[in-house]
Chain A
Amino acid sequence: MSLNIYGQQLNSRLLIGSALYPSPQIMKQAILASGSQVITLSLKRQNPNEQSGQQIWQYLQDVVKYVNGFLLPNTAGCKTAKEAITLAKMSREIFQTNWLKLEVIGDDYNLQPDPIELLNAAEQLINDGFNILPYCTDDLVLCQRLYDLGCQVIMPWASPIGTGKGLMNPYNLETIRLRLPQATLILDAGIGKPSDACLAMEMGYDGVLLNSAVALADNPVLMAKAFNQAIQAGEQGYVAGIMEQRQTAHPSTPTLDMPFWHQN
C-alpha cells in the first residue's frame, strides 16, 4: 500500500539517508535494495579544489532518477530558526523541491531538536511555501503544534540520531499515533534493527526514516532489504488487525473430542 507525502504517492514506506556508506556504489545498491523512493541529503561548504562533491551530487541524482524517487534535503547542523530558514532556501534553489526535513538542534550531546526554534522555523517556512517534514522529539504537544501549523507529516524520533537504540518510549509514540490520526507519522532517527521499524509500523506509523542502521551494518545492502521487508510486514500486520492480548492461556487446538486422556 502506498504512502502519501504532500500529495505524492510513494510505493515504499521507507525513507532512507545517503550518508555513512562504505562507498557510493554500496550506497546505490543499498538504496535500490531498500525499495525507498525518498532519499535524504544535505548541504556543506563548497571546496573549489575538491571535485568529489560534484561527483557525489551527480551520482545521487542518477540514483534518484533510477528509482523514480524524490530528494528530501535536510537542515542538519542548524541550531536556530534563522539558520534553518537560510539553509532551506539554499536547498530549494539547488534541489528544486519544496520538501524539507526540518532539523533544528538544541543540544549537541544527543542532537535533540529545539522545540521552540523548530516551531518558529516551521511556521515561517510554511508561510514561504515549503512542505515541511519536521524532525522532532516524541512530545505529543509539540507534534500537535506542528500539525496545527500545517505540517501534514510529523517525524518524531525513536531515540537520538545514530544511536541505534530503537524505540525509547513506545507509549509516547503510540499516544501520538492515537491523538493525531490524520497526520502522516514517520518515525525518524535512532532505529537500529529491522524489528524496530516493524514495531513502529505495527503501531500504525505511516513510515520510517533511517540511515545509520543500514549504512553502518556489516552488509548494508542485505540490511536495506531486511528493513524493506520488516516495514512491509509491520504495515500489513497493522492493517490486518493485531489480536488483543489476553491474561490467561487459551488452547489453540480444539478441545472437543480430544483423544485418550480426557475422555472419562
Chain B
Amino acid sequence: MNIHINGKVYSLPHEVNITVSAALTLHFIEPQQSTFAVALNGDFVGKTNYDTTIVSNGDSIDVLQPIQGG
C-alpha cells in the first residue's frame, strides 16, 4: 500500500494497515528528538492516539513543526 507523509509517497510491501506511530518511523529516524504535531487526512491526531490510530492505503499524513511567523 501507499501512504503520503508531507507529500512524499511511501510504498509498503503488504496491504496491512499500520498505526500512526509505525508510519512516523518511515519519516523520522528519531521522532523523540523532534517537536512536531500530526494530522491524518486533514484531521488532528493527538500524541496519545498515535498507537491506536490506523493509517490505510492512500492516506495522507502531515507532520508539522514550529517555524517563525507573523
Contact = CB atoms under 8 A, between A and B. Distances in A.
Contact of B42 (A43, A86, A94): A86
Contact of A86 (B6, B7, B44, B66): B44
Contacts of B6: 45-47
Nearest to B27: A48
Interface of A is mostly: mixed
Task: Give the contact-size bracket for chain A.
Answer: 35 or more
Contact of B37 (A20, A47, A93): A93
B23 interface: no
Contacts of B44: 86, 89-90, 93
- Pick the most buried of A19, A45, A53, A83: most chain B CB atoms within 10 A of its CB: A45
A54 B43 CA distance: 24
A228 B34 CA distance: 35
Contacts, number: 102
Interface string B30-68: 000111111100111011000000000000001111111
Given A54-B35, A89-B44, A46 B64 contact: yes
28 contacts: A17-B68, A17-B69, A20-B70, A21-B68, A40-B70, A41-B69, A43-B64, A46-B6, A46-B65, A48-B28, A48-B29, A54-B34, A57-B65, A60-B66, A74-B69, A76-B69, A76-B70, A86-B39, A86-B42, A86-B43, A86-B44, A87-B64, A90-B44, A90-B64, A93-B37, A94-B36, A95-B66, A212-B70
